[in-house]
């Protein structure tokens, strides 16, 4: 093929794949303003290259979760999960492409936290339909994944929200010992991030440590939280609130001095905007008292940490690639008969230097929790969300709550709705 035509074709390919990333990132920004149903329709119309299949499935899956298509959500996230597992093997062709062109030619497989969030969202989708055993399977899979991610760095991919939801699933399945272990791990992670411990987690730890006869641990927790187990014989309420949209990666160009090239070279790396997405609390009304949701996980912070952990490797790869491209251009320029090829190669090396800004950018920015005792004659509502007045069906279910029952409410900022489910603890 003619060198000029080859270069033009390559540039067009790169341009088209860049278009798809830009469109997906743009739709993630639009999700803050427009209904998720509209965003879902636009995502389904995108023509994504196969290497971005996982990103497409993750975003479509979470949009289906926001729009009450739970089986569709599970279908997409299960497919994404299988693809991610396949992509863990090192690819020879992708490494070659990334070394010569840019990182966007690798198949996207999600960051550590994103991979754990696949299991978290799947667990929530099962809980929303009262499929407790299936949710438990996802909790187990998340546990195995977090164990493997921690092999290199003990905090890599560890999510307090995943542990909290795991504890909740075990509690709903009458497995207090496993629930206690999960809640303990959630506490450990929150302490590592120097984050305040939500009141609902404090209550659960106190209740379970007392129930399991862990007297020393109960005393330590009671002293730390300045609280004691109330021993109330009533049903329990847990509200999980998925707030906001996570930040979207952007491209940042940097100049780095290369000793090999003996000059400054330009590389493109991904970065997140400086401002974090601030959590907005949810108010839940129970018997005319308001409970405020409290932060259990800042997913925005976790994905930023994932990027920061990868940054040294990303910069090293980008620098090596930029030096190789620079030297190829210099070599072509030194040949008098290849000036046109050298010029085209120069254009290609500059245009092809794109940062990999792909991410699961329609995830919620943070997960918040609240809860407490609730009884059969309680009045419950979440004024801000779609159902300003509780539905008749929901109030009927609440009126039939027994002492050991558990009302779980999964509330969504995007879509402004909630999934209420009653579990009867055996």
Residue 6 binds another protein, judged by CB under 8 A: no
Smallest gap from residue 270 Cβ to another protein (A): 24
CA distance 28 to 104: 19
DSSP 345-359: HHHHHHHH-------
DSSP-assigned letters across all residues of 214-225: -HHHHHHHHHHH
Nearest approach in angstroms of CB 45 to another protein is 25
Beta-carbon contacts of residue 334 (< 8 Å; ≥ 6 apart): none
Residues 68-87 that bind another protein (CB under 8 A): 82, 85-87
Smallest gap from Cβ 132 to another protein, in A, equals 10
Exposed/middle/buried for residue 344 (C-beta within 10 Å: 0-12, 13-18, 19+): buried
Count the residues of the shown chain that bind another protein, applying the rule CB under 8 A: 20
> Within 13 Å of residue 406, how many CA atoms lie on the same side as its CB?
21
Which 156-185 positions form the footprint of another protein (CB under 8 A)? none
Question: Of the candidates 2, 45, 92, 313, which one interacts with another protein according to CB under 8 A?
Answer: 92
422 binds another protein (CB under 8 A): no
CB of 121 to another protein, least distance (A): 15
Q: Does 424 bind another protein (CB under 8 A)?
A: no
Helix axis angle, 53-66 to 112-128, nearest 10°: 30
b (16+ CB within 10 A) / e for 75-111: ebbebbbebbeebeeeeeeeeebbeebbbbbbbbbbb
Q: Does 51 bind another protein (CB under 8 A)?
A: no
Q: Is 144 in the site for another protein (CB under 8 A)?
A: yes
89 binds another protein (CB under 8 A): yes
CA–chain centroid gap for 104, Å, is 20
Interacting residues with another protein between 118 and 137 (CB under 8 A) = 133-134, 136-137
Q: Which of 77, 186, 179, 172 is nearest to 421 (CA)?
A: 172
The answer to the question of residue 47 lying near another protein (CB under 8 A) is no
The residue within the footprint of another protein, chosen from 83, 140, 324, 422 (CB under 8 A), is 140
**Residue appearing with tokens 């690819």:** 91
Q: CB-wise, 5 or 92, nearer to another protein? A: 92
Closest CB 65 distance from another protein, rounded Å: 17
Residue 147 in the binding site for another protein (CB under 8 A): yes
Told to check if 148 binds another protein by CB under 8 A, we report yes
Q: Are 126 and 82 in contact (CB under 8 A)?
A: no
Residues making contact with another protein (CB under 8 A): 82, 85-93, 133-134, 136-137, 140-141, 144, 147-148, 151
């Amino acid at each position: 093929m003619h060198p000029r035509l080859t270069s033009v074709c390559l540039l067009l390919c790169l341009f088209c794949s860049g278009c798809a990333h830009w469109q997906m990132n743009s739709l993630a920004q639009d999700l803050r303003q427009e209904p998720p149903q509209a965003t879902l329709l636009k995502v389904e119309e995108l023509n994504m290259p196969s290497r971005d299949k996982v990103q497409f499935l993750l975003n479509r899956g979470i949009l289906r979760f926001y729009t009450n298509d739970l089986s569709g959500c599970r279908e997409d996230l299960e497919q994404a999960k299988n693809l991610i597992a396949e992509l863990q093997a090192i690819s020879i062709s992708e490494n070659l492409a990334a070394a010569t062109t840019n990182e966007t030619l690798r198949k996207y497989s999600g960051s550590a936290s994103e991979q754990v969030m696949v299991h978290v969202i799947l667990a929530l989708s099962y809980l929303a339909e009262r499929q407790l055993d299936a949710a438990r399977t996802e909790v187990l899979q998340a546990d195995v994944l977090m164990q493997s991610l921690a092999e290199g760095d003990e905090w890599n991919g560890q999510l307090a929200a995943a542990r909290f939801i795991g504890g909740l699933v075990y509690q709903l399945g009458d497995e207090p010992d496993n629930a206690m272990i999960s809640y303990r791990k959630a506490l450990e992670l929150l302490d590592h991030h120097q984050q305040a411990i939500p009141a609902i987690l404090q209550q659960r730890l106190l209740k379970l440590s007392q129930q399991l006869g862990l007297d020393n641990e109960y005393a330590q927790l009671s002293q730390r939280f300045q609280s004691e187990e109330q021993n109330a014989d009533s049903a329990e309420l847990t509200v999980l609130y998925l707030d906001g949209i996570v930040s979207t990666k952007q491209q940042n160009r940097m100049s780095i001095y290369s000793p090999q090239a003996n000059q400054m070279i330009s590389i493109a790396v991904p970065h997140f905007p400086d401002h974090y997405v601030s959590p907005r609390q949810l108010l839940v009304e129970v018997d005319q008292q308001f409970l405020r949701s409290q932060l259990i996980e800042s997913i925005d912070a976790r994905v930023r940490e994932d990027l920061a952990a990868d940054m040294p490797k990303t910069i090293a790869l980008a620098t090596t690639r930029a030096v190789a491209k620079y030297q190829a251009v210099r070599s072509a320029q030194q040949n008098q008969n290849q000036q046109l090829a050298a010029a085209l190669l120069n254009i290609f090396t500059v245009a092809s230097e794109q940062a990999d800004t792909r991410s699961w950018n329609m995830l919620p920015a943070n997960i918040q929790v609240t809860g407490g005792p609730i009884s059969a004659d309680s009045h419950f509502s979440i004024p801000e969300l779609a159902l300003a007045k509780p539905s008749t069906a929901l109030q009927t279910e609440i009126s039939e709550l027994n002492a050991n029952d558990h009302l779980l409410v999964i509330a969504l900022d995007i879509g402004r709705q909630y999934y209420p489910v009653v579990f009867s603890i055996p």
